[in-house]
Amino acid sequence: MRSLPLPLALTVRVMPVVVLATAGWALSSGPLATTTTAEHKTTESPQKDNNSATAPSTSAASKTYTASPAPCTGVTEKTVTSLVPGAKTTGQEIPSTDKSLRRTCSWNALKGYDYRWLDVSYEIKATDGAAATAYKERTGEKGGGGAVPGLGDEGYSVVNLTTDKKQQTREGLVMVRASNALVIITYNGSDFETQKAPGTDEINKGAIKAAKDAVAALEDGRKS
């Protein structure tokens, strides 16, 4: 990961956020901070039973997607500029042991004292059933959120507030299952002047916006 050109006085305060965001793309973000509060308000009507996976509408042996698309083109430049001001729109792809199965791209930038981080990951499973099982397990691990209608076959969103040494970070996670593919979005932010985090609505809507772009890119790749 390339180091950020941060002012020296902010470096120590920024590093915990960078570590947290890095863990986010791996879907293993742990409680690095002293306090974590689950928050979620979708812009759509959430389903109460958000941890149960909908049975795939196609055969369990089907495989709509055979490879992951290029993740750094999964989000439009307009969306990147809006969600991560100051970041290079080209993004940075994270090394993967098998690019046909999983690919991730990250964008991050500090503009003034406002820090933002965005990750987009694609995972290709062997079947729709395998993807549905993985989706159910992972959304179950990220409790406190709700369903997001209109995203793939199943969509889920959750927002968490983390506090470390008085510095707040708010992180949104959106997971989508589209046939045998999983699309995972992690979006977080902090203000290093006020030590406050962006609002829940801002982070949640931003993560969902990126997810819509990423799912559209996945579907367009299948058609091309």
Confidence of residue 101 (pLDDT cuts 50, 70, 90): confident
162 in any annotated domain: yes
Q: Which residue has the higher pLDDT, 153 or 11?
A: 153
For residue 170, pLDDT over 70 is answered with: yes
Residue 53 has pLDDT above 70, yes or no: no
Distances (CA, A) of 115 to 112, 142, 143: 8, 23, 25
In a domain, 1, yes or no: no
Separation of alpha carbons 67 and 38, rounded Å: 33
Residue 148, CA distances (Å) to 47, 76, 101, 164 in order: 8, 21, 25, 29
Does residue 197 fall inside a structural domain? yes
pLDDT value, residue 222: 61
Rounded percentage of the chain residues whose pLDDT exceeds 70:
71
Number of domains comprising the chain:
1
CA gap 168, 17 in Å, rounded:
9
In a domain, 165, yes or no: yes
175 inside domain: yes
* Residue 172: inside a domain: yes
Across 121-137, b (16+ Cβ under 10 Å) vs e yields bbbbbebbbbbbebbbe
The count of residues in the chain is 224
Those residues with Cβ within 8 angstroms of residue 195's Cβ, 6 or more apart along the chain or in another chain:
166, 167, 168
| Residue 126 is assigned to a structural domain of this protein | yes
Domain span including residue 29: 8-223
β-pair type (154-164, 35-39) = antiparallel
Q: Which pLDDT value is given to residue 44?
A: 42
Domain-located, residue 33 = yes
pTM, entire model: 0.75
Coil, helix or strand at residue 73? helix
